[in-house]
Chains A and B, each alone.
Chain A
Amino acid sequence: MSKSSASASGHALWAKMPKANAELFALTYGSLVTELVRDYDNADEVNSQLDRIGHSIGVRCVDEFLSKAEVSGINIPPCQTMKDTADVVARIGFRMFLGVSAEVANFSPDGSAFSLFLYDNPLSIFVELPSSEEAAATMGGAGGCDLSKIKYSNVFCGVIRGALEQVNLKVECRFVRDALRGDDVNEIRVELKEVLMDGAGEDYQEE
């Protein structure tokens, strides 16, 4: 798909989605992260829980994405390369569900990995993460969670992973740059690990 038609599709689908209050959305997510921080002692555990939550969301999101696109007459052709997948995820997927535009770049030489750049993050509009010095000072002897190491929006990585898994692409996603930690942009690196064989037909195979 051409870039502009993908963006137009994303915009059209976004227009059809029911909207939620942005503050409610951000604060609900914030309270989720706060609860996880209270429940788990270390930042890695919180990050992996966020990824797991995102995975559950992604697995369901993709059917909604495909069904609504089809019903709206927007044709999303099957992806031939990871580049197509990247464009669809960033320009149509992120646009449709979050209303933000994401860019893709930094493709690996064999085309199996790419970076997704998010300039606006609707989840983190009220959030400030402490720097590592501040976090160390407040942790003290409390044995709490090191907040500076939390990947606040790690749910996105899980969503991408879950969604692509449903269409037989096994990927690994991780945040490499986080605006909450002082970088100028959010960058998620997506790497294709395996193209899964469709397991659905196994029951019907002839012996």
Chain B
Amino acid sequence: GIEKIEAGGIVLCCLQTRTGVKFVITAEPSTPDLDLMLREIYVLYSDCALKDPFYELEMPIRTDLFTSAVDALLERFDSRGTKVR
């Protein structure tokens, strides 16, 4: 499957899991550790979104816990000097 696309001014990174879930992230070209971030997001997905009893698989994730956890993760990566959209 698609792993990484680099185009003018943007880089798109994709993680495809063995269960068929795809995580896609877009960022500025110089961003390091995108695949690491995707793997962390996979962990957050399994911990926050999947464990929400009202979350149905394949539906958009509207769980606050997941959103705030992803925000916190991005802030942690940000504070290491990376820029992610």
Contact A71 B43 (CB under 8 A): yes
CA distance A198 to B17 in the complex (A): 12
Q: With contacts A59-B57, A60-B51 known, is A67 near B45, CB below 8 A?
A: yes
A155 to chain B, nearest CB (A): 16
B36 to A, closest residue via Cβ:
A71
User: Interface range on chain B: under 10, 10 to 19, 20 to 34, or 35 or more?
Assistant: 10 to 19
- Picked from B20, B22, B46, the residue with its CB within 8 Å of the CB of A64 is B46
B59 to chain A, nearest CB (A): 14
The reply to whether the CB of B75 lies closer than 8 angstroms to some CB of chain A is no
The reply to whether the CB of A42 lies closer than 8 angstroms to some CB of chain B is no
Contact B46 A63 (CB under 8 A): yes
Q: With contacts A59-B57, A60-B46 known, is A71 near B19, CB below 8 A?
A: no
B42 to A, closest residue via Cβ:
A67
Chain A positions within 8 Å of B47 at CB level: 64
CA distance A187 to B70 in the complex (A): 41
Contact B40 A71 (CB under 8 A): yes
B40 to A, closest residue via Cβ:
A71
The reply to whether the CB of A166 lies closer than 8 angstroms to some CB of chain B is yes
A137 to chain B, nearest CB (A): 39
Contact B39 A71 (CB under 8 A): yes
A18 to B, closest residue via Cβ:
B47
The reply to whether the CB of A70 lies closer than 8 angstroms to some CB of chain B is yes
Please name 13 pairs of A and B residues whose Cβ atoms are closer than 8 Å in the assembled complex, sorted by A.
A59-B57, A60-B51, A63-B19, A63-B21, A63-B50, A64-B47, A66-B19, A67-B42, A67-B45, A67-B46, A71-B39, A199-B20, A200-B20
